[in-house]
């Protein structure tokens, strides 16, 4: 309709969206007036709506010099739902239900004011911070309170993909028309598809008026069950079968979000807000039926039948006798009637056979006509397709059982249920994708079980070698078991013990005989000679401090593959994976913090470091010379910079 600018109000300093429209140069006076009237009508329609979910109109005016009309509207920062759908932005089912419920409540407020939007679509619904929805662009709204009818016969207003059947057919519209369009928006948010698609206006219009929409679960079986019932009610061809108020739709959506079934509408629900256009629409305005008040009790005084009965004088005798009871008079009147019939001259006269047959034939024809008329008035009962119903019920049972198996962690059972469901509905992309993912999880679990079995066998062989004191053979077996199952505490503990025992065996030197009484090593007696005198004697030589040293290995780097190994002399002090698996059903690798402390034999030796990352083709080897004093503690820091692809080594 025009151009929209971002403007600033100089008086109060707030930002506004300034919508302008200028009459086309080639337009005649009537067209210019019609556009300006429609433009002003937008401001009038939106200006009387003050709701948190409706864009506010601040001001309206016209520049006489340029013949440009403008509306100052609330400036809203956010994205409309059309942009959200085009970007593929993920919205949960709870968020979708809450967004549509907000819009339904806003439309209910507008309908109560006598305004029908008539162009509800994703492009006119804006999401702001906090997942709050705002509906805008009442440019083709219809004011029920009056005003000129600017829509000529046959003119198309609105967006075809989101029109209701009555809009397509040019029939009168009301609040239920907006709810049909909002139901299309809900369907598109849930499935990322339009329910009535087509390559031309004719095909789209025909589908909207005559054809049903594709069921939700045929497109995505993961959609909660309550949404299908809500969408079906919103997209009913007959407005009388839809939700009659926007608040009813909002209540049903919030019930589904809470995990409940949509509550049925009450028997005496509020009437639909019906808007009126000009005088030509008055005859087609739906009639609201008002129930009669309940009958008075039998003891109450009956109302007079007419006003004349009230004004007519009534004379009552002063001493009228009480009338006889009705039950007592009935037998006497009945006997009098029978007597009069019997005394009638035609009583007892014989009827000619042709007349009797004619009367009988007329009675039969009248009876048959009555029966045929009653049959025509009966509503035909639709024939239920038992095979389709059984198929739909089977699909629902398989879907529920498969989802329950996924929640309980029974991947094999879930795979079996959804595989069977895939045979019934092979064209569903969501089921195909889910079955493929479940099969991948099954393969990973089977591979993990085999890896666990191999790790357990290596651990058993390593423990047997350790118990036989064959530490050289035990260490590689335990290392392989730990590599296959880094979460095995037994593999880590036995590997540490085997490495310590092997280190002790390599560093072991002949020791003097210990005392049988105390168990302590006796001091060594060494012969000495005093200088100058030549005198000889003995001196005690005490053993030196042989406390083990400690080395802590720390690795810093965001890697999801490979391992680090640190070797001091011939002793392996660290062999750790740089990653760990997370996730219950769908496993994923994440970086693992490495911080390992080991005791080593004091010595002046080399520290050899290997970092192997197969996915990045990294095979790093570095050597550091270090003198380990008895009882000393050192920390080895290994860092990896992903930007420069370089390693740094520090030891203190």
So which residues are the catalytic ones?
119
Structure tokens at 380: 């035909």
Residue 65 CB-half CA count within 13 A = 0
Alpha-carbon distance of 327 to 324, in angstroms, equals: 8
Q: What is the largest CA-CA distance in the chain?
A: 186
| Contacts by 63-68, CB closer than 8 A, 24 or more apart | 66/22, 67/22, 67/23, 67/32, 68/20, 68/21, 68/22
Query: What are the angstrom distances between the C-alpha of 141 and each of 23, 136, 364, 557?
Result: 20, 11, 59, 60
Is residue 72 within 8 Å of 18, Cβ to Cβ?
A: yes
For residue 610, with 0-12 CB atoms within 10 Å meaning exposed, 13-18 middle and 19 or more buried, which class applies?
middle
- Strand, coil or helix: what is 381? coil
Alpha-carbon distance of 34 to 553, in angstroms, equals: 81
Query: What are the angstrom distances between the C-alpha of 213 and each of 107, 159, 231?
Result: 24, 18, 10
Alpha-carbon distance of 185 to 121, in angstroms, equals: 6
Alpha-carbon distance of 309 to 375, in angstroms, equals: 44
Structure tokens at 484: 């296959």
What are the start-end ranges of the H helices in 67-200?
81-87, 93-112, 165-168, 175-191
- What is the bridge-based pairing of β-strands 524-529 and 579-582? unpaired
Is residue 118 within 8 Å of 157, Cβ to Cβ?
A: yes
Structure tokens at 507: 């560093």
Alpha-carbon distance of 41 to 153, in angstroms, equals: 19
């Amino acid at each position: 309709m025009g151009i929209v600018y971002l403007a600033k109000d100089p008086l109060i300093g707030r930002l506004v969206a300034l919508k302008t429209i200028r009459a086309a140069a080639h337009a005649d006076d009537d067209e210019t007036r019609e556009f300006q009237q429609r433009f002003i009508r937008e401001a009038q329609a939106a200006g009387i709506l003050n709701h948190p979910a409706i864009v506010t109109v601040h001001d309206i005016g016209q520049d006489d010099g340029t013949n440009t009309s403008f509306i100052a509207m609330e400036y809203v920062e956010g994205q409309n739902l059309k942009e959200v759908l085009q970007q593929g932005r993920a919205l949960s089912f709870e968020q979708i239900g809450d967004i549509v419920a907000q819009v339904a409540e806003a439309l209910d407020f507008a309908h109560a004011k006598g305004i029908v939007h008539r162009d509800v679509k994703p492009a006119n619904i804006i999401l702001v911070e906090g997942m709050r929805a705002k509906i805008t662009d009442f440019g083709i709204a219809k004011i029920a309170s009056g005003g000129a009818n600017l829509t000529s016969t046959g003119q198309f207003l609105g967006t075809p993909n989101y029109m209701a059947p009555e809009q397509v057919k040019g029939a009168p519209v009301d609040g239920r028309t907006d709810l049909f369009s909002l139901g299309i928006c809900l369907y598109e948010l849930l499935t990322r598809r339009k329910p009535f698609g087509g390559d031309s206006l004719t095909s789209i219009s025909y589908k909207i008026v005559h054809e049903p929409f594709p069921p939700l679960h045929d497109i995505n079986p993961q959609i909660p069950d309550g949404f299908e019932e809500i969408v079906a009610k919103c997209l009913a061809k007959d407005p009388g079968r839809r939700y009659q108020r926007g608040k009813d739709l909002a209540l049903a959506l919030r019930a589904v979000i809470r995990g409940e079934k949509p509550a049925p509408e009450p028997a005496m629900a509020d009437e639909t807000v019906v808007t009126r256009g000009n005088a030509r629409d008055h005859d087609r305005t739906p009639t609201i039926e008002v129930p009669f008040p309940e009958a008075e009790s039998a003891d109450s005084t009956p109302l007079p039948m007419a006003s004349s009965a009230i004004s007519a004088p009534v004379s009552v005798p002063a001493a009228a006798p009480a009338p006889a009871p009705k039950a007592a008079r009935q037998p006497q009147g009945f006997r009098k009637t029978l007597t009069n019939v019997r005394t009638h001259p035609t009583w007892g006269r014989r009827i000619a056979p042709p007349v009797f047959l004619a009367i009988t034939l007329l009675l039969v024809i009248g009876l048959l006509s009555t029966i045929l008329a009653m049959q025509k008035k009966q509503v035909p009962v639709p024939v239920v397709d038992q095979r389709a119903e059984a198929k739909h019920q089977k699909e629902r049972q398989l879907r529920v059982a498969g989802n329950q198996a996924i929640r309980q962690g029974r991947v094999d059972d879930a795979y079996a249920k959804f595989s069977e469901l895939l045979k019934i509905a092979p064209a569903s992309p969501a089921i195909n994708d889910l079955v493929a993912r479940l099969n991948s999880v099954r393969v990973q679990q089977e591979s993990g079980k085999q890896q666990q079995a191999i790790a357990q066998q290596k651990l058993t062989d390593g423990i047997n070698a350790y118990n036989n004191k064959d530490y050289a053979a035990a260490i590689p077996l335990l290392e392989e078991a730990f590599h296959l199952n880094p979460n095995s505490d037994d593999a880590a503990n036995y590997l540490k013990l085997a490495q310590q025992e092997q280190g002790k065996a390599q560093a072991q030197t002949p020791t003097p005989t210990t005392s049988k009484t105390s168990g302590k090593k006796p001091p060594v007696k060494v012969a000495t000679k005093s200088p100058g005198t030549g005198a000889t004697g003995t001196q005690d030589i005490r053993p030196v401090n042989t406390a083990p040293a400690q080395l802590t290995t720390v690795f810093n780097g965001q890697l999801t593959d490979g391992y680090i190994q640190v070797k001091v002399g011939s002793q392996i002090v660290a062999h750790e994976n740089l990653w760990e698996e997370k996730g219950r059903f769908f496993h994923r690798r994440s970086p693992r913090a490495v911080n390992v402390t080991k005791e080593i034999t004091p010595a002046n030796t080399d520290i050899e470091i290997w970092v192997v990352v197969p996915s990045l083709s990294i095979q790093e080897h570095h050597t550091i010379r270090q003198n380990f004093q008895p009882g000393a503690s050192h920390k080895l820091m290994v860092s990896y910079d992903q930007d420069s692809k370089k390693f740094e080594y520090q030891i203190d």
